[in-house]
Chains A and B, each alone.
Chain A
Amino acid sequence: MPTSAGSTADSTVPGDGASGHDDAHPSYLSASKGVASWLFTVDHKRIGVMYLVCVLSFFLVGGLLALAFRLELSTAAPDLFTASTYNRLFTLHGAIMVFLVLVPSIPATLGNFVLPLMLGAKDVAFPRLNLLSFHIYVLGALFLIYTLVSGGVETGWTFYAPYSSTTDSSVVSALLGAFILGFSSILTGLNFIVTIHKMRAPGLTWRKLPLFVWAAYATSMIQVLATPVIAITLFLLVFERTMGIGIFDPALGGDPVLFQHFFWFYSHPVVYVMILPAFGVMSETITINSRKHIFGYNAIAASSIAIAGLGFMVWGHHMFVSGQSELAGTIFSLITFAVAVPTAIKVFSWVATMYKGSIQLNTVMLYSLSFLFIFSIGGLTGLFLGTLAIDVHMHDTYFVVAHFHYVMMGGTLIGFITGLHHWWPKMTGRMFPELPGKIGCALVFLGFNLTFFPQFVAGARGMPRRYHEYAPEFQIWQFWSTVGSFVLAAGLFLIAGYLLWSLKRGARAPRNPWHGMSLEWQTESPPIEHNFDHQVICTHGPYDFEEIDYSKA
């Protein structure tokens, strides 16, 4: 296989042998059969796979919605949709991508699958709670699907009051969907925190945890502490619409800016729920494919916690032009800049990890490098928007749209795709083919940048977001953006194609195809039902790779 890591890794890596299941220890995929054995399983691996199927399906739906309105935007005149339909399309695109795709993307799928394996545990601390959280996710998803088929919402995914409390579209079902999905997220976070505290294998101390686990821990903290606030906010908004309680309605003395405060108190930290796990994936993939101990382990671990903490204190930067006081704006701006520090610590640490590493330029590493490039642009343009004076001009322009797509799509989803490839052999027992993988990565990278970079330019030149008909001088940027979105879609369909192909035809994966040192690589691919056939005892760190022999270079 061209995927195998290079010369520096050899059979001294524990558990490096070929994978083989015997009858006494069938893989988790064949341990029991039937639909019910999946839908009501308490096995974290099966739950992770079910989440994966759901998340990818909704990613397809959200992506198709985006392609539909990208087509509309390719010309300045309105041609395909009415203004109202266009508003519904981008609202559902946003709501589906945020609540059904981005938030659960890495924690609920890859996290559920690999976290207990990385800890050397047989399962998460509360397996039935884990299943419940999946069922709640499905229930919430049904509400959003109902919203989609019953005419949709046109409020934008932010549900700003008082428009959301007065418009006659299906806001209530969308709110209830998001409300229910929040509890799924809380329960996953709760489960992960307890799992990380209580389920670690003997010898696996906090400072031997893979950095993906640290990232999952910080993420879970945010999920548990921020999500209940959006829950009560959406709950109040439901009552606002159905009973007219008026808390966010200025006509009754209520305050719509209060809604924005509540909304962003959750929705800014949740940005870190999305991006921190992607950081965790990068810490794994960049290090493994550099064959070198990670640079700044403690700094990366601590910066995850720092980002989670600071992330709670920056929500006001979404409201610089909503009428909050100048003092508040200044403080929020300052703390926003502070978030850049731990984030930059991570990026520099990854780059330093690659320095003098033995870099394997495989598909996973190419994605990781794409992430570094794209996320750096996304992060740095965030500083523009965190600057008070510039934000007044940039607010609600395509610059903002481009910024958060560079972070959410280019950061989180490319991180998700990276992790999916990295753990694909572990999850399915099959290798994906390298060449289509690299072509897919190139298409995604080019398509992504072609889609969103022109939006920076259009936004900087003053094009506001959320208009389906716009001034003709922006058409050139919007046109190329639409072209890019189809290149991006081609890349994503190619990835879907070869991943599905590999399920049946891919080469059998060995236990440890990338020669990793963390515990998940010590069990079979795919793992047996209870993960390990013996009690795991952790004797080494997750990045204790063999010394690189520079004399050969």
Chain B
Amino acid sequence: MNLQTESEVAAVPEGGVPDGGVPDPGEDHTHLAMHFHDLDQQKSAAKLGMWIFLAQELLFFSGLFMAYFAFRFLYPDTWLAAHELLDKRMGTLNTVVLLTSSLTMALAVRACQLNDLKSCVRYLWLTIACACGFLVVKYFEYAHKFQLGELPGHHYRFEGITGGAPELFFSLYFMMTGVHGLHVLIGIGIMVWMIFGPIRRGRVSSQQYSLVENVGLYWHLVDLIWIFLFPLLYLVR
């Protein structure tokens, strides 16, 4: 999440700039970076940059998804048997938790747009809480699998599955959920930084909420990836 470094910190007012017009001369321009003509340009650049960043995130995960499909195609019976070892209730619980966090994130962005920074921070804490909850559930799932030896590759010791290459299912399970979990962790870090950094220092308001909005976009992507991971890993049919 390197994008936050430049554009969104120096985020942009919206209301002050009439559609397609010249910025209001009375407005505070301190957060307009030197190389932009106006705040509109700065804001739309930040947003486009974020969407391109999300595109490369998708491609990053695509490798894992392709590997998943390749091996599911090679070992369909193993996949069916191995997925029974994942805890569907925990997976469902985490799906609900993560969807809720997306809602609170959207509410945080909304509160920011309405200049209600207090609520914004409250919703961000709720999002962080959900994210932590997600990781706690994940921890219990991982611990259980470590105990049973349902581990990736040559660490695999579980003997309950017959058929080819069950260790590959767990290789992919741990890689996919692990990389996703890393994204959750990074998201938590960015939200905490945002609360104690830019928001506290008054650099976020209804005039300049690009930072919050872009972090929101990132968070929704993390959520969206889980929406694909959950059925692919837990609900194989």
A interface vs B, CB < 8 Å? 121-129, 132, 186-187, 190-191, 193-194, 197-199, 224-229, 231-233, 235-236, 239-240, 243-247, 249, 252-255, 258, 261-262, 530, 535
B165 contact set on A, CB distance < 8 A: 246, 252-254
Bound Cα distance from A191 to B164, whole angstroms: 45
Taking CB atoms and an 8 Å cut-off, the chain B residues in 1-37 that contact chain A are: 2-3, 5-7, 33-35, 37
Is B52 in contact with A232, judged by CB distance below 8 angstroms?
no
- Residues of B within 8 Å of A245, CB to CB, are 152-153, 171, 174-175
B153: which of A199, A232, A244 is its contact (CB, 8 Å)? A244
Report which residue of B41, B44, B67 has the largest number of chain A beta carbons within 10 angstroms of its beta carbon. Answer: B67
Q: Which of B53-61, B190-198, B229-237 contacts A (4 or more CB under 8 A)?
A: B53-61
Q: What's the minimum C-beta distance from B197 to chain A, rounded to whole angstroms?
A: 15
Interfacial chain B residues near A235, Cβ < 8 Å: 179
Complex CA distance for A398 and B15, rounded to whole angstroms: 64
A121 to B60, CA, bound (A): 31
Contact (Cβ within 8 A) B63 A252: no
**Chain A residues whose CB sits within 8 angstroms of the CB of B92 once the complex forms:** none
Q: Which residues of A contact B2 (CB under 8 A)?
A: 129, 132, 187
Jot down 14 A-B pairs with beta carbons below 8 A, ordered by A.
A122-B35, A126-B6, A126-B49, A194-B49, A194-B52, A197-B45, A199-B35, A239-B175, A244-B152, A246-B154, A252-B167, A253-B164, A254-B168, A530-B35
> Which B38-93 residues have a C-beta within 8 angstroms of A?
41, 44-45, 48-49, 52-53, 55-57, 59-64, 66-67, 70-71, 74-75
From A122, A123, A129, A224, B56 is in contact (CB under 8 Å) with: A224
Contact of B6 among A129, A198, A535 (CB under 8 A): A129
List chain A residues, Cβ under 8 A from B174: 245
Q: Please name all residues of chain B whose beta carbon is closer than 8 Å to the beta carbon of A227 when the two chains form the complex.
A: 56
Does B118 interact with chain A (Cβ within 8 Å)? no
B171 touching A247, Cβ below 8 Å: yes
A127 is contacted by which of B6, B57, B70 (Cβ under 8 Å)? B6
Cα distance, A126 to B53, chains bound together (Å): 13
**Smallest CB separation, B26 vs chain A (Å):** 22
For the complex of A and B, list the 5 residue pairs with the smallest distance between their C-beta atoms, beginning with the closest. A253-B165, A232-B63, A228-B60, A246-B153, A122-B35
Contacts of B34 in A (CB 8 A): 122-123, 530
List chain A residues, Cβ under 8 A from B172.
247
Q: Total A-B pairs in contact (CB under 8 Å)?
A: 138
How far does the alpha carbon of A125 sit from the alpha carbon of B2 in the complex, in Å?
14
Distance in Å from the Cβ of A266 to the closest Cβ of chain B? 9
- A121–B41 CA distance with the chains assembled, in angstroms: 12
Q: Does B200 contact A (CB under 8 A)?
A: no
Within 8 A of A (CB), among B158-214: 164-165, 167-168, 171-172, 174-175, 179
Query: B110 CB to closest chain A CB, in angstroms?
Result: 26
Kindly provide the distance from the CB of A537 to the nearest chain B CB, expressed in whole angstroms. Answer: 12
**B59–chain A nearest beta-carbon distance, Å:** 4
| A239 contacts across to B, CB distance below 8 A | 152, 175
- The answer to whether A262 and B49 touch (CB under 8 A), given A244-B154, A245-B171, A245-B175, is no
Asked whether any CB of chain A lies closer than 8 Å to the CB of B157, the reply is: no
A228, A235, A530, most chain B CB atoms within 10 A: A228
Residues from chain A with Cβ under 8 Å of B3 in the complex: 126, 129
B144 within 8 A of A: no
Q: Shortest CB–CB separation between residue A47 and chain B, in angstroms?
A: 13
B64 surroundings in chain A (CB, below 8 A): 232, 236
Q: Closest CB-CB distance, B67 to chain A, in whole Å?
A: 6
Partner of A247, one of B67, B75, B164: B67
| Chain A residues closer than 8 Å to B33, beta-carbon distance | 127
Residues in chain A near residue B179, CB distance under 8 A: 232, 235
A262 touches B66 (CB 8 A): yes
- Roughly how many angstroms separate A535 CA and B7 CA in the complex, as a whole number? 22
Contact flag A190-B56 (CB < 8 Å), given A236-B67, A247-B67, A262-B66: yes
